[in-house]
Amino acid sequence: MTLFDIIFTGSRQALEAAKATVAAAVEKKGSDARVAFPETAYSLPTIYAATGKKIGSLGELRDALSIVESLIVPEQNLEKALNAGLATALSAEIIEACKYAVEEKPYSEPCAGFISDAVIRSLGVPLVTGDIPGVAVVLGEAPSAEEAAKIIKGYQNKGLLVFLVGKIIDQAIEGKVKMGLELRVIPLGYDVTSVIHVVTVAIRAALIFGAVPPGNLEELLKYTKERVPAFVNALGSLSGLVVSAGAGAIALGFPVITDQDVQEVPHYLIVQKDYDKIVPTSLEARGIKIKITEVPIPVGFAAAFEGERVRKED
Amino acid sequence: MENCACNTCDAATKKLYEKAKSERIDTIWDRALAMQPQCGFGEMGLCCTNCSMGPCRIVKISEDGPKAGICGATEDTITSRNFARAVAAGAAAHSDHGRDIALALYHAGDKTRIRNEEKLFKIAGEWGITVEGKDTVQIAREMAERALGEFGKVFGKLQFLQRAPEKRIKLWDELGVAPGAIDREIVEVLHSTHMGCDADYRNIIRQAIRAALSDGWGGSMIGTELSDVLFGTPMPKKVEANLGVLKKECVNIVVHGHDPTLSEAIVLASRDPELLELARKQGAEGINVVGMCCTGNEIAMRQGIPMAGDFFQQELAIVTGAVEAMIVDVQCIMPSLATVAKCYHTKLITTSPKAKIPGAIHIEFNEQKSLEIARRIVKDAVMNFKNRKVEVFIPDDKSEGRIGYSFEAIIKALDRVTNSFAHPSGTVKPLVDAIKSGVLRGAAAIVGCNNHRQPHNTCHVTLAKELLKRDIIVVTTGCGAHACIKAGLMDKDARKYCGKGLATVCELLDIPPVLHMGSCVDISRILVLLSEVAKYMGVDISDLPVAAAAPEWMSEKAQSIGLYAVASGVYVILGVPPAVTGSENVTGYLTKGLESVLGGRFEIENDPVEAAAKIAAHVENRRKRLGI
């Protein structure tokens, strides 16, 4: 199968899953039931930014499925492949929105799920000043907790904001990575669809700080590519769905670095099998240059540790 | 041809054609119109003049006309012989060009005249020339001798064939088409197409293939590679193009023809402070050297000299009234230039003993005294500034583009997207990844000439735009390059014509979507690029999602180029049919049969939109075969 075909297949799977999830939610709550993420003024941020439409109910969410469907056109070219990637992102948002519509509290410790507007606003200044030099999205599973911790701490030490999705969260805990917003390591969720919660961070950054008008997809993608220094590390076996989500990241201008055998795409999809080199490979791929003064001390030293609380048991 | 003789999409050409008309000067379009209708026997290749029993013709349109020549040669024999002779002539033109470059290298004399030592050493390594303990001049001389040997060596095969992918080399050997010495292959075509010799069209075309391959992988490649050694390997730079590059206030010198040894020397001489001072004394602001056709491509690629125009614009350059001297060497120089020049003050100066024109001034050029002669020519031009007769009219049409994409420059551009922690540098890997992933669907070369049978430049430009929107990257040389740069396709802004994939590649590599790879001999650069990509992928050239097109071709050189591309495994679209259509067998062999033998074939398609669709279909077919 060609790389584009894998993406189209994954996007279709995501769409099918979204359809089923919405149908189940409507079944349970009715099509008038309210749909909203907590503490945000941007409704479902991805759909809002892409279409300019705010979604208020499950019925409206069901209607939004046709937008997703229209984005999946299996023609063999990059434009269509990236659109399919965006479709996967929209499907993920729809699935995640259903979770919030159906359940009172779909996410619990250690997972953060949806990130509130307030948090994004608090991250805005350090992102602009370069105090947060980049945003790493690490998803999947590293070969061991040790490797996982090494990669996550590698970013943490350089002051990057790290989001975790999937089994890597457990590996991070096992690897004794200290987590939390103030430590700049945020576990999002175990389902791959929870990666959308970092996508909406980038998208809301464009809406809030970039003043990108909702519905102007082209300008949105330009902003995320040029101004949000994010990248993705996709570790462990890659399903078609993950690959198509990766295409969504590429559409936003974020390179994907993986430890798996896939067809590389210059600049955007890079294979790095040496775990010691994943961090520098990723930083170079996103053009992140870190101004560092190495202080030879036996513990991690970075702005990421500023909010750390030393507990009694530590 | 319709009644409006000048059929072009280029504004400057249109304006100057009108000026020529008003001044009652005949140009190529008028002569083409006067020639109508052209002879159908010749058009179909059914006329043979190879002996004095002829001329013979085969009559196809009626039952009772002759079906064989007086000697008994059939339409198959006659058309294939005519085609083979055209290929041999084309191969001869390129090869003699290559020989002159090799001679120039031999006579280089001192180290300062070899501008690219690195490439010298690289080729030396490839050819097994030891460099230890030798100085640069000595190595250059040894390489030149070896290169000159390629033209007439008694045994063995051409050195540069080794650059091809292994599978291709093997195929050529099996088919018996791997060329030995360049001149030998050309002579053999002339021998076997003599009266009473080879009558088997397949065998005649086989001979032509050997001659063509001795051009692409011999004469042309020697010409390109040794020109790089002598004058530097082209690297990206901005240039201006079209007749608007002539300057009213300056002494304008047009160099036209092919061999860079002359044009490079003219460029050097034009920068001589003494001559510049002389120009000022004559009332000129400076000396403006511009290039035309392939020699124009050579000095544009290496020195950033403006590209004044293509084959069909050569007469029109003089019609501006602003050209003090047009200096020519060999190939594609219309003899009518002498007549046109007479109406103005322009001095037409021929320089090669191989190409004299009645009515022109002949100042013979030779490589040993190149600068001296060039200074004399430039001085003549400067002194001619005061003699301008008519009111000067320079159209304000010019465009800008980024050119200079040698193989080496392309590799350097590709390094921009390698990750230093994950990838090797200096390879074609990023290009292969872009193609394998589908970001780029394929690549196509647009080459060739201008021809009154096709609307001027329109076919080149339309074809290029049609390919760009399908994410097929375009490389170009020769007059195809002139057409593309004039249409703005080598500008950054040309990304607007591209599909998302190609636009992304252009942005990442900081390249235009149409890459100017040089002159017609520089098509050898395309062979090198194809070979490197094929070798990296572990396949043959014929497996790659690539194609070539010569939408407005006219010369015998173009036929040699077309055939060596086919013989190297490339699908080649011709916008004008070669004179073989009188034989269904020969036409069928070239457009279908050859594919099963060589993996490449010709296609005849005069509509550029259709041509693009065919290239896209071919590219997708090859992708499918590769499973990508």
The mean per-residue pLDDT over the stretch B528-535 comes to 98
Q: Which of B600, B520, B596, B589 is nearest to B560 (CA)?
A: B520
Confirm whether the ipTM is greater than 0.90.
yes
**Residue A70: pLDDT over 50:** yes
| CB-based contact, B508 to chain A, within 8 Å | yes
The nearest CA of chain B is from the CA of A283 a distance in Å of 10
Looking at every residue in chain B, the average pLDDT score rounds to 96
CA-angle at B46, arms to B44 and B48, nearest 5°: 135
Determine whether the interchain pair A284/B420 forms a contact, defined as Cβ–Cβ distance below 8 Å: yes
Q: Does B504 touch chain A (CB under 8 A)?
A: yes
For residue A293, what pLDDT band results from cuts at 50, 70 and 90? low
Is B294 annotated to bind ligand?
Answer: yes
Region B306-323 average pLDDT? 98
Which chain B residues in 462-491 lie under 8 Å from chain A, judged by CB atoms? Answer: 470-471
B436 contacts chain A (CB < 8 A): yes
As a whole number of angstroms, the distance between CA B107 and CA B371 comes to 13
Q: Do domains B243-387 and B405-626 have the same CATH topology?
A: yes
Distance from C-alpha of B367 to C-alpha of B108, rounded to nearest angstrom: 8
Q: How far is CA B37 from CA B33, B43, B336, B382, in A?
A: 8, 11, 21, 44
**What are the tens digits of pLDDT across the range A263-278?**
999 999 999 999 999 9
Per-residue pLDDT tens over the stretch B346-391: 999 999 999 999 999 999 998 889 999 999 999 999 999 999 988 8
List the domain boundaries for chain B: 75-231, 243-387, 405-626
Is the pLDDT assigned to residue A245 strictly greater than 50? yes
Residue B47 counted as an annotated binding residue: yes
Q: Which of B437, B441, B623 sits opposite A265 (nearest CB)?
A: B437
Q: What is the pLDDT of residues B543-598, one digit of tens each?
A: 999 999 999 999 999 999 999 999 999 999 999 999 999 999 999 999 999 999 99
pLDDT for residue A307: 66
Q: What is the pLDDT of residue B109?
A: 82
A43 touches chain B (CB under 8 A): no
- Scanning A138-157 for CB atoms below 8 A from B yields none
Cα separation, A73 vs A8, in Å, equals 8
pLDDT tens digits, B484-494: 999 999 999 99
User: What number of CA atoms fall less than 13 Å from residue A274's CA on the CB side?
Assistant: 7
Residue B319, min C-alpha distance to chain A (Å): 47
| DSSP string of B572-621, one letter each residue | EEESS--TTTT-HHHHHIIIIIHHHHHS-EEEE---HHHHHHHHHHHHHH
User: Would you call A78 and B434 a contact, using CB atoms and an 8 Å cutoff?
Assistant: no
Given the structure tokens 């464009």, which residue do they identify? Answer: A206
The minimum CA-CA distance between A128 and chain B, rounded to whole Å, is: 24
Hey, is the C-beta of B622 within 8 angstroms of any chain A C-beta?
A: no
Find residues 213-272 of chain A whose CB sits inside 8 Å of chain B: 257, 263-267, 269-272
Rounded to a whole number of angstroms, the distance from the CA of A313 to the nearest CA of chain B is 40
CATH 3.30.428.10 fits B405-626, yes or no: no
B461 forms bridges with which residues in the sheet? none
Task: Compute the nearest-CA separation of A67 from chain B (Å).
Answer: 21
Q: CA of B607, closest CA in chain A: separation in Å?
A: 25
Cross-chain residue pair B437–A264, CB shorter than 8 Å: yes
Residue B246 is predicted with a pLDDT of: 98
State which residue of chain B sits closest to A284, comparing Cα positions: B419
List, in order, residues 6 or more apart from A31 with CB less than 8 Å away: A57, A58, A59, A62
Say what the pLDDT of residue B3 is: 47
CA gap B123, B113 in Å, rounded:
17
B75-231: CATH topology is Substrate Binding Domain Of Dnak; Chain:A; Domain 2 (1.20.1270)
A chain contacts of residue B417, beta-carbon cutoff 8 Å: 266-267
A301: pLDDT strictly greater than 80: no
Instruction: Determine how many CB atoms are found less than 10 A away from the CB of residue B106.
Output: 18
Among the partner-chain residues B430, B433, B501, the one whose CB lies closest to the CB of A78 is B501
Asked whether the predicted pLDDT for residue A129 surpasses 90, the reply is no
pLDDT digits (tens, 9 = 90+) for A96-107: 999 999 999 999
User: In this structure, which topology does domain B243-387 adopt according to CATH?
Assistant: Rossmann fold (3.40.50)
Please judge whether B628 and A2 are an interchain contact, meaning their C-beta atoms are less than 8 angstroms apart. yes
Of B414, B418, B471, the CB nearest to A78: B471
**CA dihedral sign of residues A237, A239, A245, A250:** positive
